[in-house]
């Protein structure tokens, strides 16, 4: 008997860890992951979807444990050869990883949707849970810096998050249609919980919530929304979250992130080091270790989140 569907919102590395934890404690048909596609870009003539790939590799056990992105046991002959030809090498594409970009590009050009390509890759990689892009329409996160607007991967990888962030924009979001299967799932009335994974709220979660209809569908799905703080002790576990917050004039901290999600949140899971900081929040706080270094910690945090959602569903 199904206990209902868990819908997880995720970006790349941090979110993928919790998505993997959830996939280990739930039957595959009870987990649906909505992936951010604002980080997508065209590079070397290839259509690249980093957060979808990071999630896919993590769920398939193919992820590179050192970086969190790309594939494990990678070789770099393609990068060496591209360099010798004067091609761009700032965005590292391993030989095994390259296949997913080449084949995705071919299929998109042949008229398949990003959802269709992603679903087929997941099937071929033996991934049970559904991984859906937030939209099949083009959405691109842009970063306004002191030198003007730049593409997200330019900022994040090529410039290594050095430029000062003055604003973020999600080009195309206003006209993007939410992924239909994700919307249908949220409207079934059979959702047990919506989990906002510990991805960067600004660059990974807000693009998802910016897709017209998605935020409302999540708010009205009849299940508690529980987020896991991506910040531990004022610092992002990985990536530029704290730096971006400071540059946007926002106090970096677990409490600020919860406030950022506003009235969407019923529950919030924070690390013990941040317990005092979130004491005053108008949200049900659960204190638990949120650093997921091992598989066991990924599963444990997944259980904490689901228990928190269960208590909230029972009015606890
Ligand atoms: N991130 C980097 O910091 N450097 C890279 O060279 C890099 C290559 C890369 C290749 C494929 C892929 O799916 C992701 C890759 N990423 C790289 C990560 C990516 O830029 C970020 O994970 C997301 O866009 C932010 O969540």
Give domain limits for the chain.
5-313
- Residue 239: per-residue pLDDT: 76
- Residues 24 and 305: their CA atoms lie apart, in Å, by 13
Nearest CA to ligand 1 atom 19: 50
Q: Is the CB of 12 under 6 A from ligand 1?
A: yes
- Residue 316: per-residue pLDDT: 65
Q: What's the Cα-to-Cα distance from 108 to each of 12, 49, 56, 60, 142, rounded to whole Å? A: 21, 12, 18, 22, 22
Nearest CA to ligand 1 atom 3: 157
62, 157, 161, 207: residue to mutate for ligand 1 pocket, most atoms within 8 A of CB:
157
**Cα 231 to middle of ligand 1, angstroms:** 20
CA 53 to ligand 1: nearest atom: 13
Which residues 6+ apart lie within 8 Å of 210 measured at CB? 139, 170, 173, 174
Q: Is the CB of 21 under 6 A from ligand 1?
A: no
- Residue 235: per-residue pLDDT: 79
CATH architecture group of domain 5-313: 3-Layer(aba) Sandwich (3.40)
pTM higher than 0.75: yes
Q: Which residues of the chain have pLDDT under 50?
A: none
Output phi, psi for 170, to 5 deg: -115, 85
- Residues 222 and 4: their CA atoms lie apart, in Å, by 11
Q: Is the CB of 200 under 6 A from ligand 1?
A: no
CA 68 to ligand 1: nearest atom: 22
Helix (H) or strand (E) holding 26: none
Q: Is the CB of 51 under 6 A from ligand 1?
A: yes
35, 50, 158: residue to mutate for ligand 1 pocket, most atoms within 8 A of CB:
50
**Cα 93 to middle of ligand 1, angstroms:** 9
Q: Is the CB of 230 under 6 A from ligand 1?
A: no
- Residue 1: per-residue pLDDT: 67
**Cα 120 to middle of ligand 1, angstroms:** 22
Report pLDDT digits (tens) over 119-171: 999 999 999 999 999 999 999 999 999 999 999 999 999 999 999 999 999 99
Q: Is there a contact between 302 and 285 (Cβ–Cβ < 8 Å)?
A: no
- Residue 236: per-residue pLDDT: 72
Q: Is the CB of 241 under 6 A from ligand 1?
A: no
Nearest CA to ligand 1 atom 21: 50
- Residues 312 and 307: their CA atoms lie apart, in Å, by 9
């Amino acid at each position: 008997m199904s206990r209902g569907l868990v819908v997880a919102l995720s970006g790349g590395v941090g979110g993928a860890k919790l998505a993997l934890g959830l996939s280990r404690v739930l039957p595959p048909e009870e987990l649906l992951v909505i992936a951010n596609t604002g980080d997508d870009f065209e590079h070397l003539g290839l259509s690249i979807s980093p957060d979808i790939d990071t999630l896919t590799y993590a769920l398939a056990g193919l992820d590179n444990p050192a970086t969190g992105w790309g594939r494990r046991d990678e070789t770099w002959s393609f990068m060496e050869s591209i360099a010798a030809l004067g091609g761009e090498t700032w965005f590292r594409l391993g030989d095994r990883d390259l296949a997913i970009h080449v084949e995705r590009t071919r299929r998109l050009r042949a008229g398949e949707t990003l959802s269709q390509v992603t679903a087929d890759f997941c099937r071929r990689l033996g991934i049970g849970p559904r991984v859906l892009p937030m939209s099949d329409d083009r959405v691109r996160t842009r970063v306004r810096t002191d030198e003007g607007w730049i593409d997200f991967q330019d900022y994040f990888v090529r410039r290594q998050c050095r430029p000062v962030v003055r604003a973020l924009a999600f080009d195309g979001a206003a006209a993007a249609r939410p992924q239909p299967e994700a919307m249908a799932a949220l409207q079934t009335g059979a959702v047990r919980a919506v989990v906002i994974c510990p991805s960067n709220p600004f660059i990974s979660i807000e693009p998802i919530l910016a897709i017209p209809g998605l935020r409302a569908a999540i708010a009205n799905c009849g299940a508690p929304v529980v987020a896991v703080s991506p910040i531990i002790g004022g610092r992002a576990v990985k990536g530029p979250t704290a730096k971006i917050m400071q540059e946007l004039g926002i106090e970096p901290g677990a409490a600020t992130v919860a406030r950022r999600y506003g009235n969407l949140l019923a529950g919030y899971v924070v690390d013990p080091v941040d317990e005092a900081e979130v004491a005053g929040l108008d949200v049900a706080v659960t204190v638990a270790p949120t650093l997921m270094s091992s598989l066991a910690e990924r599963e444990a945090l997944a259980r904490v989140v689901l228990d928190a959602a269960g208590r909230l569903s029972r009015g606890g």
